[in-house]
Amino acid sequence: MHRPGYRAFGYSAGCHRLENRVPNLLSRPLLFAVVFIEGFASLGAEVIALRQIIPHMGSSIVVTAPTIGFFLLALALGYHTGAKVADNYLALVARNFLIAAALTGAGLAGVTVDLIFAAIGPPLLAYLVFMAAVLCPLAWLMGQTVPILTNLMQHRRTGEASGYALYYSTLGSFLSSLLLSLLIMQWLGVSAAVALCALLLLVGAALLGTRNGRTALASLAVIALTLVCSAWPRPEIETAYASYTVTPVDIKGAINPRAFKNNNSLASLIDEGEPRHYTRYVHHIRRILLEDLAFRERRILVLGAGGFTLSHREPDNHYTYVDIDPAIRRIAEEKFLGEAALGEFIVDDARHFVASSERRFDAVVVDVYSAHSSIPGHLVTREFWQGTRRVLTAEGVMIANLILDSRLETPYARNLLATIESIYGRCAVEVLHRTQPLSNVIVICHNSNPPQATSLYVDERNAVDFDRLRSH
């Protein structure tokens, strides 16, 4: 006979039958609801963490892949720990959910991540601290959920119990990836995604039935902490893709100069004087287009909107901006320009646009960055530069703003320039800040100049005179 409040949980394996008496305080739907919340909050934490470190570390594969790897390792360790739990199942999972809610609401908040990277340097060390103090403990706690709660699921076979548990956990993860990235972050912001995951974890703790004064007090404390961190005043304007700030700067002779920053990196400058002050590379590109090439009534494609200063008060040409963030134009107009931006704005990924557009342009300006000196990896490959050439007219020009070492001697600088020239042939390369370790480097390539094989001039076979005649 079973004790009141307990129910036998058995499974068969060959001719053996094992029984384990466990408290059956929740119905199957509630247990599956808790597992669903675990899956939703786990992947939600990973998605939010990847978004929050972009302003500090960028979004390259060498950042995202280790982040996912550390998260999965902590999750695996959580599975291992949960498999060893033999009693107090509900109380233990409820405690884990409360701690995870606090880590989510406070640890993943933008103000906390900013504080970690501001207080600890270099950025790599701050990243490791963030992983060790926030994301990995959170994943470890969530990983224990399925192995622990499987003990309470009434099924004839352990495979059936674990299969259903993993089904609802993975379903929660699937919905989290879509809901947070496509809806919550897009329309309500990153802070709303943080608050939603923290709140769901508190709901999960409540569903586990451990209702007492200490649990209620802890839940209220987590809610208060989440609200404080989410509402903490920050200069950033957050979207699903980036954090933007507009800050005053000191420029001699400028009137009310201000900087538009994208993920803590300077994207544009402007003031209210005449003539206007812009960043040096924007001045340089405007001079190339308007003076050197004498463009008038031309179609110019700009990949990466920045602060929309390339077309600022320049009505002589037709500009089309492409940026992946749908909010950047409104932010730039309201907070930075103080007026409507000139030109058409298309929300799209730069590579997708140049690969699929049927339109042709007289110039393509490439100015795409996810953080300081960090161009997204899919926008530096040979295939991307082929796409930029594809949308040019026969006599079109491609102008790229790159941030490289000022001597152009690092492997990144040499290989990136070689990749561009493998598509366009010889290009002009202009280093704007030769005395600084990193500099804006402007690359100008013409579509009419296909790549050709080269040969070296040597004393034994010197074809310089013949080549000179062929060049006239």
Summarize pLDDT for 16-33 with one digit per residue, the tens: 333 344 444 568 888 899
Please tell me the pTM assigned to this model: 0.78
What is the phi-psi region of residue 94: left when phi exceeds 0, alpha when psi lies from -120 to 50, beta otherwise?
alpha
Q: State percent of the chain over pLDDT 90.
A: 60
Cα gap 405→389, rounded to integer Å: 25
**279-331 residue pLDDT tens:** 999 999 999 999 999 999 999 999 999 899 999 999 999 999 999 999 999 99
What integer best gives the mean pLDDT of the chain?
A: 87
Average pLDDT of 229-246? 78
Cα gap 422→404, rounded to integer Å: 18
Cα gap 200→217, rounded to integer Å: 17
Burial 201-220 (b: 16+ CB within 10 A, else e): bbebbbbbebeeeebeebbe
Asked which of 99-108, 268-277, 339-348, 356-365 is least confident by mean pLDDT, the reply is: 268-277
pLDDT at 318: 97
Place 137 in a pLDDT band, splitting at 50, 70 and 90. very high
Q: How many CA atoms does the CB half-sphere of 282 hold within 13 Å?
A: 20
Q: Is residue 407 within 8 Å of 442, Cβ to Cβ?
A: no
Asked which of 142-146, 210-214, 388-392 is least confident by mean pLDDT, the reply is: 210-214
Cα gap 116→135, rounded to integer Å: 13
pLDDT at 273: 86
Class level of CATH domain 243-446: alpha beta
Please indicate whether residue 190 or residue 373 has the higher confidence score (pLDDT). 190
pLDDT at 12: 37
Asked which of 3-7, 36-40, 312-316 is least confident by mean pLDDT, the reply is: 3-7
Which CATH architecture describes the domain 22-234?
Up-down Bundle (1.20)
Location of each CATH 3.40.50.150 domain in the chain: 243-446
Q: State percent of the chain over pLDDT 70.
A: 90
Place 169 in a pLDDT band, splitting at 50, 70 and 90. very high
Location of each CATH 1.20.1250 domain in the chain: 22-234
Q: How far is CA 254 from the centre of its chain?
A: 34
Place 77 in a pLDDT band, splitting at 50, 70 and 90. very high
Please check the confidence at residue 443 and state whether its pLDDT lies above 90: yes
pLDDT at 10: 37
Average pLDDT of 209-214? 66
pLDDT at 211: 61
pLDDT at 362: 97
Cα gap 135→385, rounded to integer Å: 36
Identify which of 323, 45, 51 has the alpha carbon closest to the alpha carbon of residue 200: 45
pLDDT at 432: 94
pLDDT at 1: 38
